[in-house]
Amino acid sequence: MNYRRLRAVCIKEVHHITRDSRSLAMALAVPVLMLLLFGFALSLDVDRIPTLVYDQDGSPQSRELIRRFSGSRFFNVLGSVNDYSAIEQGIDRSRILMAVVIPQRYGETVAGGGKAQVQILLDGSDSNTAGIALGYAESLMRDYALQKRSAALNQRGGQSLAPPVDARLRVWYNSSLESKNYVVPGLIAVILQIIAALLTSLTIAREREMGTMEQILSTPLRPAEMVLGKMLAYFAVGLADSAIAVLVGVFVFQVPLRGSLFLLTLAVCIFLVGALFWGIFISSVARTQVEAYQMGILSSFLPALLLSGFIYSIGNMPWVIQVITHIVPARYVVTILQGIFLKGVGMQVLWGEFGFLVLYAAVIFAMATRKLNKKLA
């Protein structure tokens, strides 16, 4: 490998990048726009659940239960209704997610120490959100029932009822349970996968369409030198995108960075190298820039979004899909970024993920060089 030829290819690509100021501005602005859009729009938190109340009893006990729901941050009681048709209409129009129906004689049953019933109606169109809302409602009702039973026993026997289990919860790494702390690090990995693949997916195809490939064929340039030269030019752009994305995550979304900044930089650099090599490989396979762009989108966006564990838990996927996720590099960099950001773990925990990213970059470099060698031959 000749350093002068490698440097010449790199400088040529840098000149092409700087000449097209509009594309350069888009390459730097798109990650920020995607991070802001997805970061603010994509929230896994379920709170302020729109709720209607149908109180058929109207007793002090039923009003106390309604105040419990109104005072919880998980429920947003929009008002009261007088029949089931209003609840059905609210669910059909997606105006509410849940309704609480308090039957007649509820207050009398509670005052007498009996077992009163409360009906919870849920819109199950989104089963995940409905399940979380049901869990919140059951927890609120359970705590309320225990408090009422304890108060009744205290009045009768002078002894309060203690819960059989005193659970004291401690949440590690994301104590506020905010989804943005989990989403943003994974989102950075997904955005870098997409941007890096698209940056280089047009390089070889563009040379072929512009007719400059014939000039390259007349030079002693080797395929490995072309691949590395083009990668190094776009690596600087990808590194700038990475820095911007991390700064936005830390200072705009207030995601805690508990781990090593050096380890974070190392992970991003290794991942960028592999993703850029993948874009060059796609460009060497595609015949036109349009085809290269389409292949770049399909091979980067969909796997990174759906198979990386960024949104959907890999453990809940069918076993066949779980096997396929092992060859998706975004899966490993999502684990690394979430581990460094939230847990502050180091190489002793993440060495396997780092090893796969290094192996992935080496394999894709070999594939791109071999494919380009055939093209040049």
Q: How far apart are CA 254 and CA 260, in angstroms?
A: 17
Pairing verdict, β 75-80 and 49-55: parallel
Q: What is the DSSP secondary-structure string of 195-209?
A: HHHHHHTTHHHHHHH
Q: Are 306 and 279 in contact (CB under 8 A)?
A: no
Res. 317 pLDDT band, cuts 50 70 90? confident
Q: How far apart are CA 201 and CA 194, in angstroms?
A: 11
Q: What is the DSSP secondary-structure string of 310-352?
A: SSS-GGGS-HHHHHHGGG-HHHHHHHHHHIIIII---HHHHHH
- pLDDT one-digit tens code per residue, 263-297: 999 999 999 999 999 988 988 888 788 888 888 88
Residue 355's pLDDT is 95
Q: Are 196 and 27 in contact (CB under 8 A)?
A: no
Q: Domain ranges in the chain? A: 3-43+178-376, 49-157
Q: What is the DSSP secondary-structure string of 271-314?
A: HHHHHHHHHHHHHHH-SSHHHHHHHHHHHHHHHHHHSSSSSS-G
Q: Under 8 Å CB-to-CB from 296, ≥6 apart: which residues?
A: 197, 198, 201, 202, 279, 282
CA distances for 32 relative to 27, 37, 337, angstroms = 10, 8, 17
Tokens at 370, concatenated:
């071999």
**CATH code of the domain made up of 49-157:** 3.40.1710.10
- Packing angle, helices 347-376 and 223-247, rounded to 10: 140
Residue 333's φ and ψ, nearest 5 degrees, are -75, -30
- pLDDT one-digit tens code per residue, 189-232: 888 888 888 788 877 777 777 767 667 666 777 878 888 888 88
- pLDDT one-digit tens code per residue, 296-306: 888 888 888 88
- pLDDT one-digit tens code per residue, 79-92: 999 999 999 999 99
